[in-house]
Structure 1
Amino acid sequence: MPRTAALFASMYGLAGTELYGDPHRFQLLFVAASDEGIFEPDVLKIRRDKEDASRVAWLRTAEGFTSLRDLHTWLYGTHLCYSVSRQHEFGAQTITDPKLLASY
């Protein structure tokens, strides 16, 4: 949930700023589901560590955005899942930890 909250807070902050002049225009509520019983504790820790690293990377990336156009340019020009110019990389295995990979 922390990564999801960071992503949406950044995006809606940009939208609020650009459309209304107020980065806090939109108030989002995040409700997390429990992870209890889904994975073994060591796998859950690995997944949480991965999510936290992704959250930190996103926050670094989002610092450079000043507009929705910046977000759009990054998303469709750089992000592995959405960039047409990176289609040749689609399907490439990016997870190297076998325990983490098995959890997907």
Structure 2
Amino acid sequence: ALSKARGMPLRAPLLVVVIARLQAHAKVPAQEQLIAAGCAAHGILLAAHAQGIGAVWRTGDLAYNAQVAKGLGLGADERIVAYLYLGTPERELRRPPELAVEDFVSAWNG
């Protein structure tokens, strides 16, 4: 298990660790700060895919591991939001299924 964990960052040629630095703020609660960091990670994925770069978002136990946080030099106010693995795809990227918007969106008529 340890050798597997050590090799995980080697899954792709580039590993981006997205970190949220939480700050006390009257208008932006910690939850929104975490979500904003998640949105930034999502933006990186979208940009990578638009350029034909393979990109995968992972978290898992290592996102919450104290030794990993220490190794990355994270402060008590910082949280790992995502590990983004980026590189040249080895095969054609699979296309997501077409979804009907009406299955996910409804109108509120107040």
TM over 0.5: no
Greater relative CO (CA pairs within 8 A, separation 6+) = 2
TM range (shorter): under 0.3
Structure number, greater radius of gyration:
2
TM-score (norm 1): 0.26
Choose between structure 1 and 2: higher helix proportion. Answer: 1
Choose between structure 1 and 2: higher strand proportion. Answer: 2
